[in-house]
Structure 1
């Protein structure tokens, strides 16, 4: 990288996502392809089970920080 501002932006997940989506859209347009719609089927993954709520909350917070939607259920 020769541009320090651009290099700093690339360190953020948001900017990398924007760049990735822009590249994907450009490829679709160049090859005249259509984006497939996502399936309506959801596949659920359980990340853990804890005897203490604080441990479950810690994992939910970590997952949220990493960009994943998470929730606690009993």
Structure 2
């Protein structure tokens, strides 16, 4: 699999991207932190936001549910 004029993908990564990342300590730390934050966002999305609302609920039932919860929690 040639990428640019006979350079394979593996040698391209070894020549260009890997030295760029490993050039200094701070760059490695920043890339690691950004990677971990992106991973944490995907985990949070998977745990809390990826599941759709129940198939039996439509938009009006969902609104009525949240309005009833809000009115029940307000002091009388």
- Give TM class, smaller chain: 0.3 to 0.5
Q: Greater share of strand residues, 1 or 2? A: 2
TM-score by length of 2: 0.34
If the length of structure 1 is used for normalisation, what is the TM-score?
0.35
Higher relative contact order (CA 8 A, sep 6+): 1
Bigger fraction of residues in helix: 2
Answer with 1 or 2: which has the greater Rg.
2
